[in-house]
Structures are given as C-alpha cells and as structure tokens.
Structure 1
C-alpha cells in the first residue's frame, strides 16, 4: 500500500511518537522510510547575522544529528533495511517538507502533533496544519 514513507521530525515528544508509528508502518508494508528534518537557518545565512555565533550554530547542528541518529536507531532495532535520513533547508517548514516529498516521490507522510487547541494553533501556528492545508500525499498525524 505504501512504498515510500517520509517521517518529519523536530526533536519533540510528538516527533518521537511519529518515529515509532512510521517505523511500524514501514515494517508492516515493507516500505522505504526516510526521516527528514528542516532547518530554517543555513550556515551562510546565519553568518550574515550580527548575532552569528559558531558555537550556537554547531550546537544546533549537533542536536539535529542526534535526532536523526535516534530515529535511525529505532528503525534499525525494528529490523528495517530501507531507511535513511536527510536534513533539508527552507524558510517555510511545511513547504520544504511538501516540496521534498513531491520531488522524491514519497507516497505517505507521517508527522507528530502536540494536540494544541485551535486557540493555541492560532497563536503559535502549526506545521501540521500548514501541511494539511496544501496538496499532498496522504498524511498520518500522530
């Protein structure tokens, strides 16, 4: 039913649940699984800022690497063989995820949601809501 599953992660508890779900989904259908995280700041764009601090940027990069490594470990423990991870850049996280999914031919997206109320989403926004409001392959919100 699914050949290529993309799981968007951001280091949150909701993303941890999405990882667990996507691993189970990929195992059940024998699908390829890729974990993706989006960075909105590149080293070149950050270097133009008067607040540039290499240590802070590197700390962020280390955190991203740990998140992806933890997700990969969960997939490997489950015995998945067709699993990979990638970091992509984009100013709009939802657009970056959807554009990447479309370019790479993913037929399912898995994302975690914190379950904020409608008022909370109004104040803080929601990448999940932004993804769901655009044309996309099927999305499972965990």
Structure 2
C-alpha cells in the first residue's frame, strides 16, 4: 500500500486543542514541503458557499476576518510557510463539512485537534474528531 500526500488540511476553531493542532500541522507541512490549508466551519446561513483565501491573497494582505484562521495563518507565516490557504466552509455538521471539503478539493491528509473526552462526556457530547476519522477518505491525524 502506498500513501500519497500532496496537501494538508488543518481544521481549526481557535480552541486550545486547535492551537496545538496548528503548530503540529505547520511543522508537518514544513517537514514534508507540502501546501497547507486551514479550515474553519461556519453557519451555512452566513456563508452559503466556501470562501477561500489563497496564498496570493494572503501574501497581499487580504486576510480572513475569523480569529481562528488569522491566528493559524500567523503561526504558518512566522514559520515561513509560503504555500498556504485559509477556508471558511459552511456546514451544520462540522465533521461532514470538513470531510466534504477535503474530498471535493483533493486533500490527502486532515489534521485536527481533540479535547480527549472519554466515557460519559464523550457519549453525551460526541466527538467531531471521531466523526472525521469515521467519515474521511484520507488519513487523519488527531492532535491531543
């Protein structure tokens, strides 16, 4: 079996686990010399279609308004990542929206964080990370 990694999608919402995930994804993109995109999921009423800021827009200073995406971009730019993008994608179901965007846009690896809930808390609250792992068409790295 051979795994091809051509580009990485990192899900972020600005939470503490997501901040650790951003650092991991930036380091992974550096080590593998791969393009890196950050995605945050928004209410479909606010954004009916994905909004993408590509490397050209980002390097020209046209940046997304989302705090989570801005913070992720700052980490990546400080680390010298040049092939970068930021995405606001709509979705009622976060995991489905992440996987659908990754699949539609030919991402080969998804990186995301998890709070590491177990037992009753996980059963009551569910886990977006676990849902992404179950739905994904490609490898998923969960950062805790």
Find the counterpart in structure 1 of residue 29 from structure 2.
Answer: 26
- The 3-state SS of whatever aligns with 1:133 is helix
Q: State the secondary structure of the residue aligned to 1:43.
A: coil
Normalised TM-score (structure 2): 0.81
Aligned pair count? 125
CA–CA separation in structure 2 for the residues paired with 1:11 and 1:135: 22
Which of residues 39, 44, 51 in structure 1 aligns to 2:42?
Answer: 39
Considering fraction of residues, name the structure with more helix.
Answer: 1
8 Å Cα contact 1:6-1:109 kept in structure 2: yes
Aligned 1:6-21 pairs, distance under 5 A? 6-21=9-24
In the TM superposition, what are the counterparts of 1:1-142 in structure 2 within 5 Å?
2-43=5-46, 65-142=66-143
**Which runs of 5 or more structure 2 residues have no equivalent in the other structure?**
49-64
Q: Quote the RMSD (CA, aligned, Å).
A: 1.8
Q: TM-score, normalised by structure 1?
A: 0.82
1:44 and 1:35 map into 2 onto residues whose CA distance is: 16
Residue 10 (structure 1) shift? 1.0
